[in-house]
Structure 1
Amino acid sequence: MKKHHEVVAAIIQRGEEILCLQRGASKYEYIAYKWEFPGGKVESGETQAQALIREIKEELAIDIQVDGHLLTVEHEYPDFIITMHGLRCTALNEELVLHEHTGFKWLRTEQLQTLDWAAADVPLVEKLRG
């Protein structure tokens, strides 16, 4: 049976732009170097918002404000299944530091489809594009 993870993803907005991050190498080739919204696993006892604030601080060294729920995505990858809660957020500071990713871009919603997104993030991109 495949592992199932509950994860949160931050759709971080700065004015009209949204933060997009590029993954590095991965043991799972199908997500290596793909673009994604930052986030991570929800730990026991954490709310989705608490998990996201912690993960973004760990991954990017920035503080965020969680503004609300955008979409929950169920996605089955070849090796695991995720339930991903996409939450709209605002960056409280902009000097981000990449601890786990190889690149980042701030893009307007109409530019999001120009990136090669991880499969689980595609429904979030589609929802944002309306």
Structure 2
Amino acid sequence: MKHIEVVAAIIVRGGKILCVKRGRGVYEYVSLKYEFPGGKVEEGEKEEDALRREIREELKLEIEINRHFMTVNHLYPDFEITLHSYLCTLREDSFEIALTEHIDYKWLEGKELFSVEWAPADVAICQSLMQQL
């Protein structure tokens, strides 16, 4: 089974967390679900560099990475991912979100995270955030 290394940014601003909605895709189990923004780590790339690159490509934002939050291993029907999440903030000069790969975004408080439907791999991160925020 294919294994993918993925990074995700938990971007916090004003006590709210940025959540982005995937478009319709090949895999129904992640289509139209919310996730933390990020993407695949390329071979030889450091996780932090991949995260900055992905956020720049997907949202046209610049982030400061504060610390590693947690790593989740999740087995989907067609592939397995290892999802490394990081707590982040936006750089002071970066506030305009431009969606290039997602169809919507929301800023949610920790207690509101489960008001949207999440991609399965992100659920454990949401649960931990709700306990810690």
TM surpasses 0.5: yes
**Aligned equivalent of 1:87:** 86
Q: Which moved more, 1:37-46 or 1:73-82?
A: 37-46
The one-letter amino acid of 1:36's match is E
**Aligned equivalent of 1:67:** 66
* TM-fit CA distance, 1:33: 0.1
The CA RMSD over aligned residues, in Å, is 0.6
The one-letter amino acid of 2:9's match is A
Question: What is the CA–CA distance in structure 2 between the aligned matches of 1:73 and 1:61, rounded to whole Å?
Answer: 26
Question: What is the CA–CA distance in structure 2 between the aligned matches of 1:4 and 1:72, rounded to whole Å?
Answer: 14
**Aligned equivalent of 2:128:** 127
Q: Percent identity?
A: 51
Which stretches of structure 1, 4 residues or more, deviate above 6 A after TM superposition? Answer: none
* TM-fit CA distance, 1:69: 0.7
Q: TM-score, normalised by structure 1?
A: 0.97
**Aligned equivalent of 1:49:** 48
* TM-fit CA distance, 1:45: 1.9
**Aligned equivalent of 1:30:** 29
Question: What is the CA–CA distance in structure 1 between the aligned matches of 2:43 and 2:32, rounded to whole Å?
Answer: 29
* TM-fit CA distance, 1:27: 0.3
Question: What is the CA–CA distance in structure 1 between the aligned matches of 2:40 and 2:29, rounded to whole Å?
Answer: 19
Gaps of 5+ in 2: none
* TM-fit CA distance, 1:11: 0.3
* TM-fit CA distance, 1:46: 1.4
Q: How many residues align?
A: 129
Q: TM-score, normalised by structure 2?
A: 0.95
